[in-house]
Structure 1
Amino acid sequence: MTQGVLSLAFFFLLHQVSAFSNLSVEESIGGLISNPYVLEDRKRIDEETIDQTSSTITVTTIATTHELSLACLKDNLTFYQAGGTPHSLLCNLTGRTDIPLSVSLDTDLHALATLLPPFWIYFAPGLVDRTLNISICPHRIGSVYLKVWVREAKPWNYEGVLFPFDLSNATLLKQYTTWLLKGNWGFEEGGNAAMGLHLKILRSRGILEIIFRVIVAVMVCTLTLVMGCELDVMQIWKHFKKPVAPIIGFVCQYGLMPLIAFGVAMVVPIKPEFGFGLLTTGCCPGGGGSNIWTLLLHGDLNLSMTMTFISSIAALGMMPLMLFIYGRFFLDTNAIRIPYAQIAGQLCYIVVPVVIGMIIKWRFPTFAKRMVRLFLRPMAFIFIFSIIGFGIYVNLPIYSLMGAYPLLFPIAAALPWVGFLLAGVFAFLCRRSRAEILTISIETGIQNTGIAILVLLYSMPQPEGDIGAAMPLVVGFVTPLPLIFAYTIVAIKEGKCSRCCQKKRAAEVIETDDEEQQERLRSFSKDHIFEAVIS
């Protein structure tokens, strides 16, 4: 008997038998889980632990033949995705059993985290008191559940022996269920776990994120100051005096964009966190990048700055209203927190530097023109590429979600791109000029994603807030793509026109030189003829 048990144990260790390979589920491309057993287990685990306020979380399974409890420090259930570094989770398994038991542990979503390795333990009848050092390897941010299965086992002599699993071999799974466990276990039909723990994997934040925010703030202030040197006070006053274009932009900003975001989030099957993140992005005011693209694409910069100012002030009231109307479909609206101080700070980033730039233009017009000519476009390009390049690197754990959830890219692109189109069509139907149509379209489609991220981090617990924040980040990534394409066409067209103009000017110069030379020759000939006649 002992030799048989040793052979069996060696066989399992050699081949690393799997117990739950078919219970590790896959999320859909939108992040949804459809496995009913997994959803039921998650709901039951959350209901058991949600009201526990002590520093230790304890889950229990009670049956006629056994009673087991698994306890762990609450703070230890939350850890960071730190380059795949394993997280050590210490738990105490205590209780009693009247029959031999096999206790098995694994995560329910291997794409987010895996045990190193998953394992099962044999317990003989009697008291159970075992400290488990569980090594968890996080793969990406999100919520994953550590699940514990308790099954009656056949009697054998290896009390408390820990055996690792392989997670892919269905044949060895069948051998495990038939050789080791007592009874007929069908995991597909009855895979509910006895107990479990809710693990949260957060995004690690370091000094690079602070540096990135400081760089963005400095660049935005500097760029808007230079833009202020380009603005015309009379044109801005004209837009305020006859605010037809700003009103059209306001309707598009807080009428079209929230509706587009809500429609996409409700129609496409995605995580509620992603849906609320998209909605929050759609309810934000216009972003500072809209002024840069308006400048590069030859829109009305004065109108752009006016619309950005109006939408930023209106956000203090319109964002809570829009999120109250649409947000209830995704989460409790009482949990929504609007960061008014941060919105006011964003407004200061725009207004104060612009006013300083306008004062410089008023007092030193020649210097202001030189600043605009030398710095405005180069700084705009540096700002765009810094945001895209450095921003992706800093937020790489969030951008990596695009690979895990392919639906993020098209639904994120739908919000700004459809916004560009519908706002442009609406402005065209209102018979605005080409420059105003372009400006209204750009102002509507480009959102202030920084405010959206703040709202999500304030309104949602972690890691749900970081998951929801993926939407404004991805929206910010895909928004410039059609604008870059449009600018490329404009640049090519301007380059061709410039070359044509240069050739035309050169031809005119040559033609003028020829005419002057012919005129000198004619004058020279007449003088010689006159001298000959006199002589």
Structure 2
Amino acid sequence: MDYARLHSSYTFIILFAALFGYFLLPIEIYQSTRDFIPLMLALVMLGMGLTITPHQLKALRSAGLFLILGIILQYTIMPLTAFAIAKILNLPPLLILGIILVGSSPGGTASNVITYLARGDVALSITLTTASTLLAPLLTPLWVYLLASQWIPIAPAPLFITITKIILVPVILGILIRIYWHPSKRILNQFLPVFSMLIIAIIVAVVVGLNRTTILSSYLIFIAVAIQFTIGLTAGYFSSNFIQSKQSRAKNKPRSRAVAIEVAMQNSGLAVALALAHFDPLAAVPGAIYSIFHNIAGVILASYWHSQPSKT
């Protein structure tokens, strides 16, 4: 499958969805659709589980230092960066919460495709996504509670239950189904990615539609998202280089790229679902904007890295 064309189409679809949500359909349509977002995200995560094989699960035990580094950065640099940016920019409480939700989320599945396009280590990327997703029910509510409770009352238990229902259970169910059912390459490489694209596009359209009167005035969110992505990417890449000897850096460029992309690209759909399920539609705006931004920035970055030499 042509992943470059697939992801460029994804970027176009996400942008179109944002414009659609802003200019078309009355807000009542989006209000009636928002309740289905957790279910839609659960279906996306079920699809992710179907792509995970027992061999990839075993790889979690042998992924080594890069896996540990990626997980540590995912659940320290990203939430703490979100907190610092929100404080510095003096954002309203609900937007602060939204930024922290994004920063506390696990890696997004789009990172695997971007890693492929960037000539990164795809196996490591999938392993990192799987590990951070499995840890999300514990670490995401913890970070949201620690960082956002000074602005918004946070109850970690409901967040834990929601993440377990829409992330952990569907992924584990998909893994169990995959043990007994081996879907065709057409399903894995074409149907599931396109299905996930459309679901995320619908989520973006709903969030933009619910916040059409305030989203453009929240220009600081665009700045915050760009800074958050850039810090995650930079920390992932240079930390990966730091733990290697000078001789092995050239050889392990694919791993450094995989860690950098995985840390920077968040599961923004989860941030949106949590915001809509437990808080306010305004708290979902950072997640929707992050979804748009990290796909555009990811494609640009992947195009640059693809043109650079990289040993496999």
> How would you bin the TM-score normalised by the shorter chain?
0.7 to 0.9
Map of 1:477 onto structure 2: 292
3-state secondary structure, aligned to 1:284: coil
Distance 1:459 1:483, change over 3 A: same
Map of 1:436 onto structure 2: 255
Counterpart code for 1:427: S
Map of 2:11 onto structure 1: none
Higher strand share: 1
Counterpart code for 2:162: Q
- Give the C-alpha shift of residue 205 in structure 1: 1.5
- Give the C-alpha shift of residue 306 in structure 1: 2.6
Q: Deviations over 1:68-124 (max 9, x none)?
A: xxxxxxxxxxxxxx948xxxxxxxxxxxxxxxxxxxxxxxxxxxxxxxxxxxxxxxx
Q: Deviations over 1:118-157 (max 9, x none)?
A: xxxxxxxxxxxxxxxxxxxxxxxxxxxxxxxxxxxxxxxx
Map of 2:114 onto structure 1: 293
* Aligned partner (choices 375, 382, 398) of residue 194 of structure 2: 382
* Aligned partner (choices 162, 165, 168) of residue 342 of structure 1: 162
- Paired with 2:191 and 2:117, the residues of 1 have a C-alpha distance of 11
Contiguous gaps of at least 5 residues in structure 2: 1-24
Map of 2:222 onto structure 1: 409
3-state secondary structure, aligned to 2:75: helix
Identity %: 20
3-state secondary structure, aligned to 2:123: helix
- Select the structure of larger CA radius of gyration: 1
Would you say the 8 A contact 1:336–1:458 is kept in 2?
A: no
- Paired with 1:223 and 1:322, the residues of 2 have a C-alpha distance of 24
Would you say the 8 A contact 1:258–1:279 is kept in 2?
A: yes
- Paired with 1:492 and 1:385, the residues of 2 have a C-alpha distance of 26
Would you say the 8 A contact 2:137–2:168 is kept in 1?
A: no
- Give the C-alpha shift of residue 264 in structure 1: 0.4
- Give the C-alpha shift of residue 278 in structure 1: 0.5
Q: Deviations over 1:212-249 (max 9, x none)?
A: 76665545534652x33xx571x653441353222101
Distance 1:242 1:308, change over 3 A: closer
Map of 1:259 onto structure 2: 80
3-state secondary structure, aligned to 1:395: helix
- Give the C-alpha shift of residue 377 in structure 1: 4.4
Contiguous gaps of at least 5 residues in structure 1: 1-81, 85-201, 362-367, 495-535
Would you say the 8 A contact 1:338–1:455 is kept in 2?
A: no
- Paired with 1:320 and 1:211, the residues of 2 have a C-alpha distance of 21
**Which aligned pairs between 1:77-88 and structure 2 lie closer than 5 A?**
83=26
**Mapped pair 1:418 → 2:234:** no
Map of 2:271 onto structure 1: 452
Distance 1:224 1:312, change over 3 A: closer
**Mapped pair 1:281 → 2:106:** no
**Which aligned pairs between 1:299-310 and structure 2 lie closer than 5 A?**
299-310=120-131
TM-score, with length taken from structure 2 = 0.73
- Paired with 1:296 and 1:399, the residues of 2 have a C-alpha distance of 33
- Give the C-alpha shift of residue 453 in structure 1: 3.0
**Mapped pair 1:272 → 2:93:** yes
3-state secondary structure, aligned to 2:216: helix
- Give the C-alpha shift of residue 251 in structure 1: 0.9
How many residues align structurally?
277
TM-score, with length taken from structure 1 = 0.45
3-state secondary structure, aligned to 1:270: coil
- Give the C-alpha shift of residue 423 in structure 1: 1.1
Distance 1:204 1:483, change over 3 A: closer
3-state secondary structure, aligned to 1:404: coil
- Paired with 1:236 and 1:216, the residues of 2 have a C-alpha distance of 22
Distance 1:403 1:310, change over 3 A: same
**Mapped pair 1:467 → 2:282:** yes
**Which aligned pairs between 1:116-265 and structure 2 lie closer than 5 A?**
205-206=31-32, 208-209=33-34, 217-218=42-43, 220-222=45-47, 224-225=49-50, 227-228=51-52, 233=55, 236-241=57-62, 243-265=64-86
